[in-house]
Amino acid sequence: MLFTRGGLKKIMLAMGLLAAFQLTPPAQAQEWSQIEQKARGQTVYWNAWGGDEAINAYIRWVGERVAEDYGVTVEHVKLADTADAVRKVVAEKSAGRNDGGSVDLIWINGENFKAMKDQALLHGPITDTLPNYALIDTKANPAVELDFTIPTEGLESPWGQAKLVFIYDSAVLQDPPKTMIALQAYALAHPGRVTYPAPPQFLGTTFLKQALYEVVETPDALLQPAGDNFESVTAPLWAYLDKIHPALWREGRDYPDGDDALIRLLDEGAVDFALSFHPGRASSAITQGLLPDTARTFVLDGGTIGNTHYVAVPYNAAHKEGAMVLANFLLSPEAQAQKQDPDIWGDMTVLTMDKLAPEGRALFDALPRGIATLSPAKLGPTLPEPHPSWMTQIENKWLERYGS
């Protein structure tokens, strides 16, 4: 026998170190290889919204790949609402379970992230540990480190980007309205054909933000926390909504639940526009038989709101290493390209193409673009999310004015 068992292990470790050496500083590499070792054999409970079968299927694929390459088993804990996972971590903290927690990784952003960050319920910073995080040029794309204007501080790892798009049926409508004001005019001319989900549903909140950006006099104020200026800044929004509401679907007495519901209403012909945060959504809905193949996507002239979604590890996660390996795999060109494939999910990548090796870039170049998906150039500028303090107040005021 040439090597003892221990000797072989040392040599393999050294080879692994050597290979990693060329890419990253040794301390991080060593740490990462230890994480990978610890992760092997772990089962990661990934709490992720489970309402979209295309996404669920993608997550299943991720699970298979991570099991193959890293020996990590992924259990997709399908949430109806991400807040469920937050509540669980809170419940565990209140029960004194500070380790061995049942949530290992959460698909998260916005208010849920803010809630967990504020209560110190997150493990990390983690992003500097993830080797693939280097594939994001955070200088060129600072938005990935600002989650609804809240600095992520490395506590969550970017996974994908969303951008508000509008969907219409080109067989019904030739020239869709390209501004929120034009949409208001369309609604008044065609009562009952326009609607949006009720806040605090995020797509509904985004619709309000989109209108806010267009009608507000000083858009820059929205990036700072709301203060005494709330009434004066938002007054044009309420004027806009007061005018459009009587002309909404069901005269504004009912609202769809989200983009699935909007797509169903569009397909039935009950409304003329659907909203989605996924630029590829119209194409995938056509493939799934949920929309006619005449459905198309458009964006507004001044740009639409976009944001980043992330994964984060709770402070008490039982399988932190497995969760980190999973988070790192999610940032690999392979996983990101697969995710951006419109036939699979169609979610925009967070990676910076310039940072990728040619093979990695080729994966993205080879992606088909569905017939109803806009090219990156036509997707237009991305507007940043306003500071959350605006939306909390706007949601409350909306509920008071139009809620019941």
Of the candidates 132, 130, 75, 82, the one whose C-alpha atom is nearest the C-alpha of residue 107 is 82
Return d(Cα 104, Cα 260) in angstroms, integer. 28
Q: Which residue has the tokens 């036509």?
A: 378
Six-digit token pair at 378?
A: 């036509």
113: nearest Cα among 156, 56, 160: 156
Strands 156-163 and 304-312, sheet pairing = antiparallel
Least separation in angstroms between residue 77's CB and another protein is 4
Q: Which range binds another protein by CB under 8 A, 112-120, 127-135, 309-317, 347-355?
A: 112-120
Which is closer to another protein, CB of 148 or CB of 364? 148
CA separation for the pair 373, 281 (Å, rounded): 8
What is the enclosing helix (H) or strand (E) of 10? helix 5-21
Any contact of residue 292 with another protein (CB under 8 A)?
Answer: yes
# residues near another protein by CB under 8 A: 67
Stretch that binds another protein, among 16-24, 133-141, 285-293, 322-330 (CB under 8 A): 285-293
Instruction: Determine contact, residues 148/385, Cβ cutoff 8 Å.
Output: yes
387 part of the interface to another protein, by CB under 8 A? no
> End-to-end alpha-carbon separation of the chain, Å?
79
Please report whether residue 254 would count as binding another protein according to CB under 8 A: yes
Min CB(263)–another protein separation in Å:
8
Interacting residues with another protein between 148 and 167 (CB under 8 A): none
Interface mask (CB under 8 A) for another protein, residues 257-276, using x and -?
xx-xxxxxx-xxxx------
Q: Which amino acid is at 304?
A: T
How many CA atoms lie less than 13 Å away from 161 in the CB half-sphere? 24
Plot region of 257 (φ>0 → left; ψ -120 to 50 → alpha; else → beta): alpha
HSE at residue 90, side-chain half, CA atoms within 13 A, is 12
From 58, 72, 74, 82, residue interacting with another protein (rule: CB under 8 A): 82
- Of positions 39, 44, 45, 307, contacts another protein by CB under 8 A: 45
d(CA 277, CA 254): 21
Q: Applying CB under 8 A, does 97 fall inside the site for another protein?
A: yes
Does 63 interact with another protein (rule: CB under 8 A)?
A: no
Given candidates 24, 56, 352, 389, which one binds another protein under the rule CB under 8 A? Answer: 56
In the complex with another protein, the residue whose CB is nearer, 129 or 294, is 294
Using CB under 8 A, pick the residue from 224, 243, 288, 353 that binds another protein: 288
Q: Give me the sign of the Cα torsion angle 269, 375, 108, 337.
A: positive
Which residue stretch of 81-89, 218-226, 321-329, 374-382 sits at the interface with another protein (rule: CB under 8 A)? 81-89
Least Å from the CB of residue 317 to another protein:
14
Residues that bind another protein (CB under 8 A): 45, 47, 50-51, 53, 56-57, 75, 77-88, 90-97, 102, 110-112, 115, 119, 191-192, 198, 200, 249-251, 253-258, 260-265, 267-270, 288-290, 292, 392, 399-400, 402-404
